[in-house]
Amino acid sequence: MSAEAYSGVSDGTHPGVSEGVQPGVSEGAQPGVRAGTPPRPYPRPVTHTCTPTGAARLARLVTLPGVYAPQHDTRLLTRCLRREAIDEDTAVVDLGTGSGALAVAAASLGARVTAVDISRRAVLTARFNALRNGLTVTVRRGDLTDTLPDDCCDLVVSNPPYVPGPSARLPRHGAARAWDAGTEGRAVVNRVCDAVPRVLRPGGALLLVHSGLSGVAATLDRLAGNGMEAGVVDRAYVPFGPVLRSRRAWLRDMGLIDDTENREELVVIRAELR
Ligand SMILES: C[S@@+](CC[C@H](N)C(=O)[O-])C[C@H]1O[C@@H](n2cnc3c(N)ncnc32)[C@H](O)[C@@H]1O
């Protein structure tokens, strides 16, 4: 992964899908916890230093326990965000903001930014990170676009939960809400594809990142069916993180990976409202 878009991330121990270890996935330490010692009930927040815009500004992000720390997918999407023509007239919505990394990146490019997350901790974290970086971001707690009016933005960025897993039911609480996405990995991706056209102004665009395991063609078809012209604009291959490693046997049984596979394809899809 290029360090161009986003560099110097974390202390390397933060829970993560592609990097670090998630609570409950069992292979390793929570932040600040040595292997073999019992985890603290409330691990300390982890500090990340990132340059999401490539500009002089250095975004400093803190991630509360249970909130998704910036990872490969965040960086890939940030790289695509930087290619967009953004100025102070551009209204950007970040759906599933987590730490607020993408919202902060968009605000530092000059955009007017609204960030949404269903998790209270994520909302607090994103508000704090915007303040910490001296940027204005409106952060709302809500289910995807439910709190947003029609035709309110020019660009939606989203890094939704997309990891396929054995349970069709989505978690209602906890860190897994950031990645668990049903047996096809599409439970939230499909909803994003269906919800975004309503909030975009004519000519507006969506930048959406997800795994190749979640079905790229299905996303392109769904967006086309919703009146959007869509294509893949970036991709990266990243090592399996702890969540995918823990699901290796299930993924193989489902025919999603073969025995030797240990890297995941991430894609960014850009879709424009016709
Ligand atoms: C993979 S994380 C991405 C976080 C951040 N945008 C990034 O790129 O690092 C997905 C985020 O979506 C949030 N989320 C999951 N379901 C949601 C929903 N229905 N509505 C809003 N946010 C949701 C999770 O709480 C989590 O913060």
Please give the C-alpha separations between residue 248 and each of 33, 183, 256, 259, in angstroms, as whole numbers: 25, 14, 9, 9
Q: Which residues pair with 236 in a beta bridge?
A: 266
pLDDT single digits (tens) 15-36: 234 433 232 222 222 222 223 3
Q: How many angstroms is it from 96 CA to the middle of ligand 1?
A: 3
pLDDT of 46 reads: 56
Delineate the domains of the chain, giving CATH numbers in brackets.
67-273 (3.40.50.150)
Nearest CA-CA partner of 99 in 135, 60, 150, 134:
60
pLDDT in tens, 242-257: 999 999 999 999 999 9
Query: What is residue 122's predicted lDDT score, i.e. its pLDDT?
Result: 98
3-state secondary structure of 31: coil
Which residue shows structure tokens 């046997």? 249
Average pLDDT over residues 204-224: 98
pLDDT at 98 over 70: yes
Res. 75: pLDDT tops 80 = yes
pLDDT tens, position by position, 42-51: 345 555 544 4
Pocket of ligand 1 (CB under 6 A): 68, 70, 73-74, 96-99, 101-102, 116-119, 122, 143-144, 159-161, 177-179, 188
Q: What is the pLDDT at residue 227? A: 97
Q: For the whole model, what pTM was predicted?
A: 0.84
Counting ligand 1 atoms within 8 A of each CB, the residue from 9, 68, 75, 208 with the most, and so the one to mutate, is 68
Rounded to the nearest whole angstrom, what is the distance from the C-alpha of residue 177 to the centroid of ligand 1?
7
Residue 258 pLDDT greater than 60, yes or no: yes
Q: What is the mean pLDDT of residues 139-165?
A: 98
| pLDDT of 261 strictly over 50 | yes
Mean pLDDT over the full length of the chain: 84
- Quote the pLDDT of residue 150: 98
Contacts of residue 35, defined as CB under 8 A and 6 or more positions apart, other chains included, come to 28, 29
In this predicted model, what pLDDT tens digit does every residue of 124-139 receive, in sequence order?
999 999 999 999 999 9
Neighbours of 70 (CB within 10 A): 29
Query: 59 pLDDT band (50/70/90 cuts)?
Result: confident
User: How does pLDDT run across 182-195, given as a tens digit for each residue?
Assistant: 999 999 999 999 99
Question: Is 117 a residue whose pLDDT tops 90?
Answer: yes
Is 34 exposed, middle or buried, given 0-12, 13-18 or 19+ CB atoms closer than 10 A?
exposed
Q: Give mean pLDDT, residues 142-168.
A: 98
